[in-house]
Amino acid sequence: MEAVRGEKRMEERNKRLVVREERRKANAEKKMEKEEMAARVRKLYAKTVEAIRLKGRGESKEPWEQFRDHWMEEWGKGGHFGKFEDNTAIPPMRLTFSDFDIGYAMDTLQFFSVKVARIDDNLRWPLDVYGFVAVRDILDRKRNMIFCRDRDNCQTINEQVLPVLLLCRVILLTLRLS
């Protein structure tokens, strides 16, 4: 009888030890997650403070701001090319079924796929991708959409599935030697 009670006490003690160990592991994981989150917040805060500091001094604009300013200065005057946000009206394959006998080869660019090379530490697979990727060429200087998704209609991708690209016309390339 005494031996049975002793075994029961040992079983209960072992169960308590297992529960304590599980709690300790769970607390350690939570602590690690909190530390990782704090590190990401500190990194983001540092980037934000640096951006505010640079803007306050009027230093270096973001590359997209520089491009927009250049486009507005070069092509936005007079409204001939429309607004900066306008999309191209030239469709893909516009001369495929035409009777034109004239034509010549030109350097072009066609997008077939996109590869996600790496993701930041604060992102995890799968990714919900939204926004747009657009390029401009010399044909009409307007946006030619390559990828376009709203936040409500995002493309979920994993390491194997890449975003679906829109059917767009080829992009006319020019070479500037300067």
pLDDT tens for 149-158 read 899 999 888 8
Give a yes or no: residue 178 inside a domain.
no
Q: Which of 164, 170, 175 is nearest to 90 (CA)?
A: 170
Q: What is the mean pLDDT of each run of 10 residues along the chain (178 residues)?
A: 80 87 87 82 75 64 80 76 82 64 66 75 88 83 85 85 63 60
Residues 105, 152 within the same domain: yes
Query: What's the confidence (pLDDT) of residue 178?
Result: 46
Would you report the helix, strand and coil content of the chain in percent, each value rounded to 5? 40, 15, 45
Query: Which of 45, 60, 75 is the last residue before a domain boundary?
Result: 60
Residues 97, 50 within the same domain: no
Give a yes or no: residue 77 inside a domain.
no
Q: Tell me if 140 sits within 8 A of 80, measured CB to CB.
A: no
Query: What's the confidence (pLDDT) of residue 151?
Result: 93
Residues 34, 96 within the same domain: no
CA distance 78 to 16: 79
The boundaries of the domain holding residue 139 are 90-172
Residues 107, 166 within the same domain: yes
Burial of 11 (0-12, 13-18, 19+ CB in 10 A): exposed
Residues 94, 56 within the same domain: no
CB proximity list for 174: less than 8 A, separation 6 or greater: 107, 137, 138
Give the count of domains, the chain: 2
Query: What's the confidence (pLDDT) of residue 56?
Result: 61
Report how far Cα 122 is from the mean position of its chain's Cα atoms: 13
Question: 58's torsion region: left (phi>0), alpha (psi -120 to 50) or beta?
Answer: left
Give a yes or no: residue 83 inside a domain.
no
Residues 34, 103 within the same domain: no
Give a yes or no: residue 68 inside a domain.
no
Give a yes or no: residue 56 inside a domain.
yes
Give a yes or no: residue 137 inside a domain.
yes
SS3 3: helix
Residues 102, 168 within the same domain: yes
Give a yes or no: residue 115 inside a domain.
yes
Residues 103, 145 within the same domain: yes
Query: In this prediction, what percent of the chain has a pLDDT beyond 90?
Result: 2
